[in-house]
Chain A
Amino acid sequence: MLKIWAQRKDDAQKNKSVVPPYRIRLQKDLSELADDPTTRLEFANTSDQTKFTVVYQPPGGLYHGGEFKFSFEVSEEYPHKPPKVLCVQKIYHPNIDTDGHVCLNVLREDWKPVLSIQSIIFGLHLLFMAPNPEDPLNNDAAQNMINDPTGFKMNVTTSMRGGNVMNAKYECVLAPTPAHSKGRR
């Protein structure tokens, strides 16, 4: 065993404290998030960064004027496994069901350890700027979007105000402050 040990090269000073890898990775992910006025993070408990809420105000599109909240939960297996992400509001969206499940490829089948919290946030942005009725999670909303785009647009607006769409009541998700408008449609 000493012979094996003799192969060791004492080149650099090595780290003594054992910080679990998921924490280092999370520190890196969070501290390098892009500056983006449409998105902010909320921490219920600031000493625990493994649980937080991402709050997003779409700068345009059908969901403009709303404020959408997603709970993120990062496990010890991060980044081997993706974080658990749920929409905490009941919203009318073709790719998000009324229990908050989000159909986003990077959250499940296409997750890779090289992706980051930022990649997921980009993915969420995309869902609001370009909802995809071809991969539905809320089937009614998806059919509505395909068959009657004008009616769908109205239903989205109604649902965001906390109204009823197809006999289901939705949560009011209007942004408390005027949303950042970039005027892109």
Chain B
Amino acid sequence: MSDKTSTSNESFLNDAGNRAMLFQIALLALVVFIGYYLFSNLQANLANRGISTGFTFLNEPAGFPVLIHLIEYTEADTYGRAFVVALLNTFVISFIGIVLATLIGIVMGLARLSRNWLVARLATVYIESLRNIPLLLQMFFWYFAVLSALPSPKNSLLFGDFMLNKRGIYSPNPIVQDGFGLVIFGFIVSIIASIALIVWAKKRQIRTGDWFPAYWGSLGIMIVVTLAFYFIAGSPLEFDLPQKSRFNVTGGMVLPPEFVAVLIALATYTGSFIAEIVRAGILSVNWGQTEAARSLGLADNLTQRMIVLPQALRVIIPPLTSQYLNLAKNSSLGAAIAYPELVAVVMGTTLNQTGQAIETIGLCMLVYGSLSLSISLFMNWYNKKMSLTER
């Protein structure tokens, strides 16, 4: 907006560009000053407490147990290994939680749209009650009220080879025998075969217009081929069944109550949000689209699958992304009921024992930051693929 002919008459500050520059310099100076001030205080405080900065503590022995670990871990292992264990716990619960929450969300969202009055009401009650109760309260409810009210190991509830008691859910543990590689090979072969089937079906449909149920077909191929290889290899899987002893249960695979409580709470809570997103997405597709599909003679299920769903997905995906991110972040509430995830192990125990505040909190922020970034990158890619292609 600077007017070259009259700059000589005007003060420096009358130019909007100059003012913006001055303001930004001041802002930058302020940010740098605050950063410097906090950092120098920090250094002084750390020096007073005799804490040295740096990540060397990751190589020192941790000395505390982590109850749930997917990889080998003992108290003698290092803080670094404890960090990896906690990281895996966070990933596992986020991943399974996302899958379950999506399933619950789709079912409940469709149920709320159902023409069946009773089903729609029940879904509404589910969604509106779970959405409006804090997640932490729900975790406490599942952990302290439901799972700790289960019987002791001695009086375990039995469901076939599965067992349910205070210490968790026990299931048979598959043990891989020789020749299992053949089964994996068969599985890979079946995947290649089903991809080929889908490609062939699509080509044939474009050429002749005939339609082939390729997805059901590929599912069938995968099951049949994998099972065939399994039996050819001589059933190379054995199951370690949980056995009840006097005070405990030995053998089998255990899902500890902390894990189950966090998982149920995360999946049902996030599922209620996803249900609303699914419902809004489907409602956003113009009714005219359904009518047009019907007038073309498409059956009801084809109308839903080929006309409504692809258009609804476009509306559903962006908010769905943020729900997935929320779930991953909310898994940190597991710290409150002693599920050893990232925050509990790193910002809780490690921070308490070593006093390395900056490093531990930095690590946590780095992990959550990259988790958010990767989920949103993936979703952006998917979103781009699904979005409207206009001329």
A joins B in a complex? no
> Interface of B with A (CB < 8 Å)?
none
